A = this chain, B = another copy of it.
Amino acid sequence: MSRQSQSERVTQMVAGEARPSRREQRREQTLQEIKALAMEQIAAGGPDAVSLNGIARTMAMSPAAIYRYFDNRDALLADLVVEVYDALADEIEAAGRPFGTPVRRFTAVAQACRSWALEHPNAYRLIFQTTSGSGQDLAPDRTIPAASRSMVALLSALAPLAGAAADGPAQGLDDHRLVDQIRAWAARTALPDLPPRVLALGLFCWTRLHGVISLELGHHLTSTGVDPALLYQAEVDGLIHQAQHPHPGELGPPGDSRA
| Contact surface of A with B, Cβ cutoff 8 Å | 45-49, 101, 103-104, 106-108, 111, 121-122, 125, 128-134, 136-137, 140, 144, 147-148, 171-175, 177-178, 181-182, 184-185, 188, 200, 203-204, 206-212, 214-215, 218-221, 223-227, 230-231, 233-238, 240-241, 245, 248-249, 251, 253-257, 259
Chain B: minimal CB distance from A231 (Å) = 6
Q: How many copies of the shown chain assemble into the complex?
A: 2
Q: Which residues of B contact A101 (CB under 8 A)?
A: 256
Asked if residues B136 and A131 are in contact (CB atoms below 8 Å), the reply is no
A210 and chain B: residue at smallest CB distance? B211
Q: Which residues of B contact A49 (CB under 8 A)?
A: 132
Asked if residues A47 and B131 are in contact (CB atoms below 8 Å), the reply is yes
Asked if residues B227 and A178 are in contact (CB atoms below 8 Å), the reply is yes
Asked if residues B111 and A259 are in contact (CB atoms below 8 Å), the reply is yes
Q: Which residues of B contact A181 (CB under 8 A)?
A: 224-227, 230
Q: Which residues of B contact A104 (CB under 8 A)?
A: 256, 259
Given contacts A48-B48, A245-B249, A256-B104, contact A237 B204 (CB under 8 A): no
